[in-house]
Amino acid sequence: MSDEDVEAIPPSSFPVMLDETTKEYLFSTDEGTLSKASAETQVPTAHLDIGPEGLSFYNMDLYESQERLDIFTEELPSSRTEDEQFEAMEESNESRPRMEEEEYDLYTAEVSEMTRQYGIWDDKEDMEMGFQTQEPFVMVTQKQEPAVQNFKTWGEEPVKGEPKDRGAGEKRGSIHKTPAVDEGGSMETHQPCYPSEEDEPQSHEQHVGVRQYSEEAFEEEEWKEEVSQPMKASRGDTHIGESTGRWRDVFCMECRIAIRAFDKVFGTHKDHQVTKLSIAAEDTKVEIHKTMCKLEEQIAQMENFASHLEEIFITVEVAVPTVERTEEYTASDPDLKLSASLEFENDAIDFSDVRQMMDSINIVPAPSAPVINPQTPNSATSTSVRVCWSLFSDDTVEYYELYYNPVLEGTTAEENEEQDASMVKVKETYCTVLNLVPNTQYEFWVTALNTTGISPASERAVYMTVPSPPVIKKKVCRSCLSAALIRWESGNTNPVDTYTVELCEISRERSETAVTESIVGIPTYESIIQLLSGQSYLIYVRAVNIGGPSERSDSVIIYTTGTLFHLNEETAHSSLAISEDGFTFMFYGDEYTELNDITFSDNAFSRCVAIMGELIPIRGKHYWELEVEEQTEYRIGVAYEDTQRNGYLGANNTSWCMRHVTTPSRHKYEFLHNGSTPDIRITMHPKRIGVSLDYETGKLAFFNTELSQHIYTYKCHFLHYVHPCFALEKPGALTVHNGIEAPEYITFS
């Protein structure tokens, strides 16, 4: 490397040059001088000035003027201002390519170690050594082992690009600023100094390249740590190895090794300046002594500095939010002129970087994405779900942010993402999210946060609230001695998966009613449940989806003491009026039928003024009673579900009925099926008629209940289930009584 090369370095192109020149400064190609690896790492990139070996150097002259520097640098440019000083300090953490002098003897090795340790160097030394480098000193954070150091060449480059007109070695001791780093805005180009995984183990979050006072303090410490690193091993002891056997009595100032005179003439050291070895040694000793003195002073300064740093740290910490806002504001309007003092402006402390630096002090990485758990069964209610997730093992997390969105039907995944998600801040790894809509799916994802930053979002998990409870349609439930048919409404706007029916036997012995039976997996809105006769039951229904079962519906009470059915108003002839309780119906006569009551429903009787009940479709015995007046003309009996609606009860083969009409002379009773009837005379006119239906024996019997008198029995094996039917032949009323226990005498019909 020639002097020309060194001097020719234009300041403006410093960073680039830095790369090249530092490489050029690998003077010796001998082994052990500069390992290739360390050479390459000298200047990472412009933005991140991590030095080759991770050593961070702090210029101890943090508060003093340039004069301080002059101790070390005799030819400092006088134009250096205090501001620059500060800037310099800010950048002190930036890594710089370090000039590495590989070659030196053992004695100097130790000295170099110490000086390096304390950041002390002697410009004189440089000069004496004839070290011509003007390479800027690169402050590196300690990342890797500094390859070899001893006399580093500290170049100094004013941040503002002041001309670098120093002689060889003058830069040493001064603070180098990374040329790539501009004031203010350019700081943003610095990457956060998170150590990447590729960094050496010892190095960590030493942020390099950011001007921060606080960091310096920390890095200082680490820098000390670094000292212990076995750098020495790589020191150029091997230089000696290159001896050719002859005594070396010449000291090459450029390479800083002892060489043979012979080598001076021939070989790599041809153009280097040399001096006598003994002289060189003496000079070195003096230098070392001086260095040690300075070292002591430096220590005192350091302590001073550290305490100052703390103050600044606290100040900065407090000011960060303010500056953040300012920064945002500034960012939005770049032309904004701050009214702050010039000094402040000049300082232009970039607090985002400060914060980053501070955060990085914790040496805590941002967390990895948490793992969100699938929904646990029975952990949800109709308005809440309990979401759980887990931490990624080694992470430190301050809190979590749980996001959620309802999953809307008919929207795509992208549309879902565009919705504004709700968010909950949670410290634990679980959260019960409230105020949700029943029977709805929600997408949940969670991010973890610590002081360093925010993790990527976890996978999205879908949780579902349980449905609202169904509503039992009590009016249309039917029952008999051995079973009940329960019908309900979903109670939810969207479909649910299944329904569960729960039974409680009501017993006088036990005051509390415990669920005695559950029927699950019901896919439709009704269910036939087998029951014991002569009991009372409370029946509930729940709706079930993947989130679990809903709360119980309101209950319906079922008595299995008799057959209970309701009248199907859909089948009623338009002239029939039905009472509130649904069990009495009246025929006022055709002339009283209001026009708007005439419904041309397919299911209604159109000619016979009739109505059909809905009997539970269970084979077995059923019994009900009817109440009439003596003069009521009626047809009462049963019919198949699909009996002709335009026919008359008993006139076809799908219905059976007892008919009563009155003539002026007498009462006439008929038992009609398929249009024919036996001739039956009854002397007592029943006012309460018991009807007994027995599928097993194929019998339909009629009784005068007041007399316990059997009137008539049809014998017919019903092909299908039948329903009770009632009709009025002339204006009158008829009341149905059911749920009654059948009297004994009907067994003998």
Q: Which residues bind other proteins (CB under 8 A)?
A: 666, 678-684, 704, 707-712, 745, 748
d(C-alpha 43, C-alpha 46), whole Å: 8
Residue closer to other proteins, measured from CB, 486 or 691: 691
Question: Hey, what are 447's tokens?
Answer: 């991010």
Nearest to 576 by CA among 609, 546, 550: 609
Residue closer to other proteins, measured from CB, 427 or 681: 681
Residue closer to other proteins, measured from CB, 364 or 682: 682
DSSP β-bridge partners for residue 500: 542
Find the shortest distance in angstroms from Cβ 728 to other proteins: 24
Residue closer to other proteins, measured from CB, 305 or 714: 714
Residue closer to other proteins, measured from CB, 118 or 656: 656
d(C-alpha 540, C-alpha 532), whole Å: 17
Residue closer to other proteins, measured from CB, 251 or 669: 669
**3-class secondary-structure state, position 224:** helix
Handedness of CA 676, 677, 679, 682 (dihedral sign): negative
Find the shortest distance in angstroms from Cβ 666 to other proteins: 8
Find the shortest distance in angstroms from Cβ 696 to other proteins: 16
Find the shortest distance in angstroms from Cβ 673 to other proteins: 13
**3-class secondary-structure state, position 438:** coil
Q: What's the maximum distance between 2 C-alpha atoms anywhere in the chain?
A: 160
For tokens 């580093």, the residue is 152
Residue closer to other proteins, measured from CB, 336 or 684: 684
Residue closer to other proteins, measured from CB, 459 or 629: 629
Nearest to 100 by CA among 52, 58, 56: 52
d(C-alpha 508, C-alpha 535), whole Å: 10
Helix ranges (DSSP H) in 364-477 = 413-418
Find the shortest distance in angstroms from Cβ 680 to other proteins: 6
Main-chain phi, psi angles of 274, to 5 degrees: -135, 165
Residue closer to other proteins, measured from CB, 129 or 636: 636
Find the shortest distance in angstroms from Cβ 676 to other proteins: 9
Contact 424, 400 (CB under 8 A): no
Sort residue 54 into left (φ over 0), alpha (ψ -120 to 50) or beta: left
Find the shortest distance in angstroms from Cβ 669 to other proteins: 9
**3-class secondary-structure state, position 213:** helix
Find the shortest distance in angstroms from Cβ 637 to other proteins: 17
Question: Hey, what are 595's tokens?
Answer: 């026009």
Residue closer to other proteins, measured from CB, 13 or 708: 708
Question: Hey, what are 188's tokens?
Answer: 């943003």
Find the shortest distance in angstroms from Cβ 682 to other proteins: 6
Residue closer to other proteins, measured from CB, 179 or 690: 690
Question: Hey, what are 548's tokens?
Answer: 């679990």
For tokens 């005179």, the residue is 261
Nearest to 736 by CA among 561, 568, 500, 530: 568
Find the shortest distance in angstroms from Cβ 748 to other proteins: 6
Handedness of CA 586, 634, 726, 596 (dihedral sign): negative
Main-chain phi, psi angles of 137, to 5 degrees: -80, 135
Burial class (CB in 10 A: 0-12, 13-18, 19+), 576: buried
Question: Hey, what are 226's tokens?
Answer: 């670094």
One-letter amino acid of 693: L
Residue closer to other proteins, measured from CB, 565 or 671: 671
Nearest to 380 by CA among 547, 236, 143: 547
Burial class (CB in 10 A: 0-12, 13-18, 19+), 39: buried
Residue closer to other proteins, measured from CB, 474 or 687: 687
- Angle, alpha carbons 53-54-56 (nearest 5°): 125
Find the shortest distance in angstroms from Cβ 715 to other proteins: 10
Within 13 Å and on the Cβ side, how many CA atoms surround 619? 9
Find the shortest distance in angstroms from Cβ 684 to other proteins: 4
Find the shortest distance in angstroms from Cβ 698 to other proteins: 15
Q: What is the CA radius of gyration of the chain?
A: 50
d(C-alpha 620, C-alpha 599), whole Å: 35
Residue closer to other proteins, measured from CB, 460 or 710: 710
Find the shortest distance in angstroms from Cβ 705 to other proteins: 12
Contact 29, 234 (CB under 8 A): no
Residue closer to other proteins, measured from CB, 116 or 699: 699
Residue closer to other proteins, measured from CB, 461 or 700: 700
Contact 673, 653 (CB under 8 A): yes
Find the shortest distance in angstroms from Cβ 672 to other proteins: 14
Find the shortest distance in angstroms from Cβ 648 to other proteins: 21
